[in-house]
Amino acid sequence: MDRRDFIKTALLTLPGLAMAAPWWRWDKKKFLRYIGGTLPIPSLARYRVEGGKKIFDMNIKESTHTFFQGVETKTYGINSSYLGETLLFHPGDDVILRFRNELDEPTTMHGHGMHVPARMDGGPHQVIAPSKVWEARYKVQQSAAMNWYHPHLMGKTAEQVYMGLAGLIYIQDDLPLPKNYGIDDIPLVLQERRFADGQIDYSPSRMDIMRGYRGGELLVNGKVAPTKNIFHRFVRFRILNGSNASMFRIAFENRLPFYIIAGDNSFLERPSIESEVLLSPAERVEIVVDLSQFEEQRLKLVETQSSRTILDLNIFSNLQPNIEAIPQNLIHFEQMESPLFTRRFELGMRRMRLTINGKTMDMSRIDERVPLGRPEIWEVVNPTRMEHNFHIHATHFRLIERNGSEENLRPHERCYKDTVYLAPGDRVKFYVKMVDFADAKNPYMYHCHFLEHEDNGMMGQFVVI
Ligand code: C2O
Ligand code: CU
Ligand code: CU
């Protein structure tokens, strides 16, 4: 330990000192004091079993949540005052999700990353009117991953998500990895939120729509810079960029290497040792870190571009050996077949609206008809000067190259994915094959997951035939 580290450690272990910094922030109208403290863990949604099916009752409602001392902030949540309860599934489960809309406005509830029939997808066509119930019924037939659910109402997705509507879906694995939910398997939903007078402020200007609505506080499961006590040697973090349009570059403050084990929809073939990861909106990454060298210390997970704390780990002594080692073989990918067809998607802008292949979203137009079982390459290009990403519903793809080379793929992109980031000028190619659920009538969506872009036209529809 060098001298600087020694002083830092000494300071941090002085009781109270680390806690003493109050979260005073300048809010548009007055000083507000953030409630700091322990990382909230979304509770696991309860279910009942009927006829072999797991039935979850999910109530989408208005609520209030305490982000600041003495201030009630109006929010939306699902069985919760902010965000939603976590759905824990196992491959093969038969589930019924009963979404009851207790809001004063229509909504929908989409399973992002779920491989389900289009009618069960919860996209813009499956509107839930106020006080009505919509059921997503399906069999979980995909491999382990962390997905999420959120509204997808045409033109209103961004605002409803911003108010708090988003929850996690765990599809549990059976590998020897940390999986004590909230203890050594820790979900982190990262979101930026602006506040005005203690209330969530969703008021995008024209510029905000072009750039995506960014800025404000960095919330982690609904809290600013929370702390987490750690009792286990290996800790798994499942991280979702749940922001409307913010990019997050995530690392430990001391650049401690960690293992990336999974991306959006699957494990990586083998863990990849990295010291940071860049996540665009809706992307997920799972990392495992060995904390045995940090007993009785504190360690911060940070957003490096803004130097903000994501999570302040308080690591105890005598860490429990929860797993022996990180498994080296995580998944075996199927061989890609030689692609028979290429589709091209060009992201663009026209008269202050955002487009894909020159078109803005039209719910009554089917843009692409994709045959079942045909291996295809989809090429997405971003000739704009803005950042975007590209998401497909219900289907998982494998990236082949970025800007002409496989080498440009990032570690967390070497797996099955549903969302891929495109910096200005980027061009990506991925391999995709529709494997189930042909339905010529009910479309799936593809879109930019910067939600202001999606809401302003950057979306299209495809059917599987
Ligand atoms: Cu996260 Cu169209 O969805
Ligand atoms: Cu989706
Ligand atoms: Cu975009």
pLDDT value of position 41: 98
Q: How far does residue 152's CA lie from ligand 2's centre (Å)? A: 9
pLDDT value of position 2: 47
Cα→Cα distances 316→8, 74, 229, 290, 299, Å: 17, 36, 7, 13, 11
pLDDT value of position 340: 85
Q: Mind listing the pLDDT tens digit for each residue in 177-214?
A: 999 999 999 999 999 999 999 999 999 999 999 999 99
Cα→Cα distances 371→68, 113, 374, 429, 462, Å: 52, 20, 6, 19, 10
Q: Which pLDDT band holds residue 30 (cuts at 50, 70, 90)? A: low
Say which residue, 232 or 5, is predicted with more confidence: 232
The protein residue with its alpha carbon nearest to ligand 1, atom 3, reads 112
Q: How far does residue 112's CA lie from ligand 1's centre (Å)? A: 5
pLDDT value of position 19: 41
pLDDT value of position 36: 80
Distance CA 173, CA 89 (A): 10
The protein residue with its alpha carbon nearest to ligand 1, atom 1, reads 112
Mean of per-residue pLDDT scores for the chain: 94
Residue 123 Cα: closest atom of ligand 1: 2
| Contact residues for 407 (Cβ-Cβ < 8 A; gap 6+) | none
Residue 353 has pLDDT above 50, yes or no: yes
Ion ligand 3, residue ranges at CB < 5 A: 388, 448, 450, 453
Q: Which pLDDT band holds residue 400 (cuts at 50, 70, 90)? A: very high
Per-residue pLDDT, averaged over 428-444, amounts to 97
Distance CA 305, CA 190 (A): 14
Helix (H) or strand (E) holding 206: helix 206-211
Residue 12 has pLDDT above 60, yes or no: no
Residue 150 Cα: closest atom of ligand 1: 1
State the sign of the Cα–Cα–Cα–Cα dihedral 150, 155, 156, 159: positive
pTM metric for this prediction:
0.93
Q: Which residues line ligand 1 (CB under 6 A)?
A: 110, 112, 150, 152, 282, 391, 393, 445, 447, 449
pLDDT value of position 7: 46
Q: How far does residue 449's CA lie from ligand 1's centre (Å)? A: 7
Ligand nearest, relative to CA of residue 151 = 1
Q: Mind listing the pLDDT tens digit for each residue in 128-137?
A: 999 999 999 9
Residue 8 has pLDDT above 50, yes or no: no
Residue 1 has pLDDT above 80, yes or no: no
Per-residue pLDDT, averaged over 105-124, amounts to 98
Residue 95 has pLDDT above 70, yes or no: yes
What's the start-to-end Cα distance of the chain, in Å?
62
